[in-house]
Amino acid sequence: MTAIIIDGKAIAEQVILKVKDRVETLKQSGITPGLTVVLVGDDPASQTYVGSKEKTSKRLGMDSTVLTRPSTVTGQELLELIENLNNDESVHGILIQLPLPGHIDENKVLQAIHPDKDVDGFHPLNVGKLLLNQHGFIPCTPFGVIQLLDYAAIPIEGKHAVIVGRSNIVGKPMGQLLLNRHATVTYTHSRTEDLASYTKQADILIVATGQPLMITAEHVKPGAAVIDVGIHRNSDGRLSGDVDFHSVKSVAGAITPVPGGVGPMTIAMLMENTCLSAERMAQKK
């Protein structure tokens, strides 16, 4: 068997084109969706991610602002900056690019963002809304994975989804979203004993561990859909994921590549969330 390759780049483009139409409708009523990204320090990977976000939001006709601060910025200075953005009506989405330098309390900073502008979906109120299956903001990466599954027509309801990784930004919300869509969900993590005994039961296997190529054909049930969230830059400059694509594609029914799988979807869903925020604010007026 050779798996269907789920083309995240093409699916992200479809999502982006739909958002573009909505941005144009908003602009006709005098509202330009505005995204402000706060970038602290000079981490090259963070700069690349922020650059892609800025490029895509500009392409969609949104107002895109990147505020850079040195790594010596204090937590208090960041809190004041966020307060100003919370009060700025032209800003619909605020994103703090992570990670922040170690001397800053990341939770405190993320919680300072007004939940209505929290387009990353990391504020506890939005996390709680996801748990309750209410409308808040869904974190972009797991939101993107759901879109990939839907566009690839992979059934979720009634299926067994196994998540490898339980981080607050990927694994946990991923499982909750799948549960909300009526999957049966199993979470696994670094302390799970006999990981393969769980992953081999998965109809949908989502891998977000940060461990390069750790999932191999032996972990996968024939015909399963395998979604690889991991991103690693190899010494030769090429990207790979947490899944050993070449061995797994001969067992899986569908698989995402790295690059060109989940990565482009994360940015597309950030655009979706920013547009949604602007639409909600327009409705409130």
Q: Work out whether 233 is an interface residue with ligand NDP (CB under 6 A).
A: no
Return the residue of 166, 181, 219, 249 that touches ligand NDP, per CB under 6 A: 166
**If binding is defined by CB under 6 A, does position 147 make contact with ligand NDP?**
no
Report the residue number, 46 or 184, with the smaller CB distance to ligand NDP. 46
Name every residue whose Cβ is closer than 8 Å to that of residue 45 and which is 6 or more positions away in sequence. Answer: 233
Answer for which of 209, 256, 273, 274 binds ligand NDP (CB under 6 A) is: 209
CA distance 187 to 199: 10
Q: Is 246 in the site for ligand NDP (CB under 6 A)?
A: no
**Binds ligand NDP (CB under 6 A): choice among 39, 78, 231, 275:** 231
Task: Please name the amino acid found at residue 121.
Answer: G
By CB under 6 A, what part of segment 248-277 binds ligand NDP?
Answer: 262-263, 266
Catalytic residue among 53, 117, 159, 249: 53
Strands (E) located in 172-244? 184-188, 204-207, 225-228, 232-233, 239-240
Size of the site for ligand NDP (CB under 6 A): 26
Using the contact rule CB under 6 A, the part of the chain among 203-211, 216-224, 244-252, 275-283 near ligand NDP is 203-211
Which residue in 188, 157, 196 sits closest to 171, CA to CA? 188
Helix (H) or strand (E) holding 46: helix 44-59
Q: Verify binding: residue 176, ligand NDP, rule CB under 6 A.
A: no
Q: Is 182 exposed, middle or buried (0-12, 13-18, 19+ CB in 10 A)?
A: exposed
CB of 252 to ligand NDP, least distance (A): 18
**Cis check: omega of the bond before 99, within 30 degrees of 0:** yes
Q: Work out the burial of residue 24: count CB atoms within 10 Å of its CB; fewer than 13 is exposed, 13-18 middle, 19 or more buried.
A: exposed
Instruction: Please give the structure tokens belonging to residue 170.
Output: 């990927």
Distance CA 42, CA 9 (A): 27
Q: Which member of 33, 34, 121, 230 binds ligand NDP (CB under 6 A)? A: 230
Q: What's the min distance (Å) between Cβ of 142 and ligand NDP?
A: 9
Query: Which residues make up the interface to ligand NDP (CB under 6 A)?
Result: 141, 164-167, 169-171, 188-192, 195, 208-211, 214, 229-231, 242, 262-263, 266
